[in-house]
Amino acid sequence: MFEFMKTFTVRANYECRKDGILPGYLGSTIRGILGHCIRETYCQEKDKKCFLCERREDCMYVRCFNNTGGEAGAVNPYNIYVHGQGKEKWEKGDTCVFDLTLLGTATEYAEVYLAALIDAEKKGWGAARLPFRLIHVTDSKSGKMLYARGKSWLHNLNPTILSIEERNASYACINFDTPLRIVSSGKLLRNLPFDVLIQFLSRRMSLITQKYTDVCLEWDTEMMLQQAAQIRIADESWREVPFSRYSINQKTGKLELDAIFGWVLYEGDLSCFVPLLEAGKYVHIGKGATIGFGHYEVFYDS
């Protein structure tokens, strides 16, 4: 169903070089570091905001990292998933492992992202500016090396298509292992009815497809949501988690982003929704997807 979408996930391994404290969810920190690295390399108007810059249409930083809007909104063609979420106390020798997933046309600029990962070890991480050394970067799917000890294997930068097998399913258990932020009418949802999941997931997939592929998805949204409304919640467990990240646009310097953690077991005729649920594992769902929010695993009864 989504074979038109190219995807490529690189896995980066860094070693902490000094004891210190970092935020429990490092996706925002890592995104900021990579953004600085790409901007320093490609931005020619560093004193201007991207959305005000006349060069934005041809800027590699905007194209790869900081989409300023348009018909598809400000959706970006990548996301970050940090393994071992929740760790705050770091000691020298600890390793940080995270995945950077590229979607659609972003896969054509994989070298740009790889260069940013290499440059990231020159930056201090977090408010404490902890130093990290890049150990290696690999293709998370094939395991092939992309970078280690100053050597790059650019011929291994090979994206794949988003190939998803159909399957019959009457039960699906979705486990969110990063914060989930689904906001409707300005309010954070405290649970996740299936039709809401499908509404937000299909919307995100449509925006990414529109902006970063040459395909325009045409959903029968009304019928799809009617079918989704028939899926029941068999069991669920949620808890609220506070989250904040640094923001220069806030007076306090912090942006508060409350979220929920948990899992939900759905019951019903889920077979037609399996491709979208599987695609969601790559694109994530909800706000903060680029920094790793809304990442989930899904398990079926067959």
User: Computed over its alpha carbons, how large is the radius of gyration of the chain?
Assistant: 19
Half-sphere exposure of 74 (CA within 13 A, CB side): 8
What integer pLDDT is reported at residue 257 of this predicted model?
Answer: 74
What integer pLDDT is reported at residue 24 of this predicted model?
Answer: 85
Pairwise CA distance, residues 253 & 86, whole Å? 21
24 Rama sector, left if φ>0, alpha if ψ -120 to 50, beta otherwise: alpha
What integer pLDDT is reported at residue 245 of this predicted model?
Answer: 62
Q: Work out the pLDDT band at 186, boundaries 50, 70, 90.
A: confident
What integer pLDDT is reported at residue 67 of this predicted model?
Answer: 83
Query: Can you list the domains of the chain with their CATH numbers?
Result: 6-161 (3.30.70.1890), 171-300 (3.30.70.1900)
* Phi/psi at 84 (5° precision): 70, 45
Pairwise CA distance, residues 213 & 103, whole Å? 9
What integer pLDDT is reported at residue 123 of this predicted model?
Answer: 95
Q: Work out the pLDDT band at 93, boundaries 50, 70, 90.
A: very high
DSSP 83: S
For the residues 221-244, what does the mean pLDDT come to?
A: 92
What integer pLDDT is reported at residue 163 of this predicted model?
Answer: 87
Half-sphere exposure of 52 (CA within 13 A, CB side): 5
Pairwise CA distance, residues 240 & 65, whole Å? 30
**Strand ranges inside 158-226, DSSP E:** 160-161, 171-180, 183-184, 187-188
129 compared with 241, residue with greater pLDDT: 129
The distance in angstroms from the start CA to the end CA of the chain is: 20
Q: Work out the pLDDT band at 249, boundaries 50, 70, 90.
A: low
For the residues 47-54, what does the mean pLDDT come to?
A: 84
Pairwise CA distance, residues 286 & 299, whole Å? 20
- 256: tokens are 């508060």
Residue 246 pLDDT greater than 80, yes or no:
no
